[in-house]
Structure 1
Amino acid sequence: MEGHSSGDSEAVSRPAIIGAGTMGRNIAVASAVGGQPVTLFDIDDEALSDAESEVRSTVRTLTDRGVADVTDVSEVRERVTYVSNLETAVADAPLIIEAVTEDRETKAAVYERIERHASPSATLATNTSSLSITELAASLTHPERFCGMHWFHPAHIVPVVEVVYGEHTTDEPVAVATAFLEAIGKDPVVVEEDIPGFIANRIQSAMAREAWALLGAGVASAEDIDRAVKGTFGFRLPTLGVLEKGDHSGLDVHHTVLSELLEEIDRQTTPPSVLSDLVAEGRLGVKTDRGVYDWSEADLERTMAERDQRLLDQLEVYRAARGPPESPDEFEPGS
């Protein structure tokens, strides 16, 4: 399928995305909507065909909502070139974003092939939410050119991307990744230490642990726990965050609340039984029709579309809270 769809098979100097699964194709959408042509690679022709179909649909949704400042939807779609030849994808790519399955051995095998064909000066970034950047870099000949680039699902909507240093990462690859993200309208957050979960997933996991503990203890229903989150601190988060909210409330008040509650908050170091039981029963959520909630009667395509529409509404709130963005420079690696 080399050269399939938009673009031809010739290698061009553009970022490459390795893996056309959910995250890879959504990163491609984010890049295209942000004005940056990219190459999307997958060894599986069917995965590329599915990716192209989803990219076309998603781009239409985003342009209809005004996220992409263009009138010609095909102009955005044509920024994505689909190839099934890795050498074609990475040969001249200044930035290579690996977005394959979250497995160390699989990623290491992909890195070996990438290093064989990519420029020695190329930046290689991994989209991982939990794996150590330093450990992944151990399989590379040039670990200093490697960094983390943690996108959040759905990657074409969520504005922040974490850019993570590994133990051997130099400043240049982080600068390249950050410049790319800023050029496509994303909001990069630099994580200077390679710690498990980075920033967002550590905070999110701490919150999730307490939510599951409350559900398991029968304190409230799942619906009421979720509503309490959405309608209280969750409602404020796009505007105030956590630490800024502390300043607004008064750090003395914040200190008092923590002094009262920290002894009571769940401290388990393993997943709570209520979650483990659901997993053991095969109730994994939307993909199995049942999880905490029953999705068996839901129109999942409509459900996902409505979810994305709500997230796009929140994106407007986030951007308004951040203020008008500076006009990003065109992505020029190494500049």
Structure 2
Amino acid sequence: MTRFDRRTVLAGGLALSAGGAGTAQARGAGGAGPLLVDLDREPDLEIALWPKGPPGGAGVALSEHYVSRENPWGLPDRAAHEVTRPTLTLFRAARPDGSALLIIPGGGYSWVVVEKEGFEGARYFSRLGATVYVLKYRLPHQGWAAGPDTPLQDAQRAMRVIRARSAEDGVNPARVGVMGFSAGGHLAGSLATRFAARVYDPVDDADRLSARPDLSALVYPAATMKPSYAHAGSRENLIGARPAAALVEKYSIESAPPPDAPPTWILHASDDAAVPVENALLVYRSFKDAGIPVSLHVFERGGHGFGLRVEDGDPLQAWPSLYWRWAASRAARGGR
């Protein structure tokens, strides 16, 4: 477990210099839109998921590192490559309301976009009252014994660790949601539908706890593995270039969701050229037919990978508020 302060964050490369942070804040407000808040805020804590290292790592030869990516606003935008140490990065709420949110960034199962689809959302939703955890997870095609279930091992473990820490972090263990973006949306959907699958052997008392999210949010999810609408890169990284039909079915989120899957909120843009909007439509129809409470929001424009980088005046700017109100309404009804 790593506790962040100014010295450790700067040493670890997780923060800009004071001048750089101010520049990014200004550019974010003026260019990428007002959803980007507190860009110089540092995370509060980094939590290792597996006390003795993740399972199935014999023979894995990787070197975890970060790659900075360019963007039009000059914002910090790192992606984690060759993840060997899965973690939760904690952003505490200033005025906690008892809810927790596990954010799962995307990256096509090639890398993990920790800042654009992780930290930026964590800063926003922690302002509203949620205690937010950003998941850095292992990738399925890099030699781990569990193969395509490797990211799900980390996601299940993350939910259990959050619940195990609930008293310490001031979280209601019955109000833990998950939000995933792109391939992270696939992983969030996998967690919502396969929370009970035994994908690893228990390692401590945390693994006695449920991995079921109380709510799930899938943001432009790469949900299906069926070739008509699948995101080719995510599909190949997860189940290979020529997967058997049984694998395609097993890892498509819309395939046979359990009736006790959590209430689910879905967001997509019609003009998404990377992950077709049919991914969202398939999940919506499947969940609705299974009797799972599901809400779908499709915007005319937005493309793919926008995260919270939405310009002022764009209708997409409403999406975090739409999600937050939906989650609050479900909490008011006792999660129903």
TM-score (norm 1): 0.29
TM-score (norm 2): 0.29
Higher strand content, 1 or 2: 2
Higher helix content, 1 or 2: 1
When Rg is computed on C-alpha atoms for both structures, the one with the higher figure is: 1
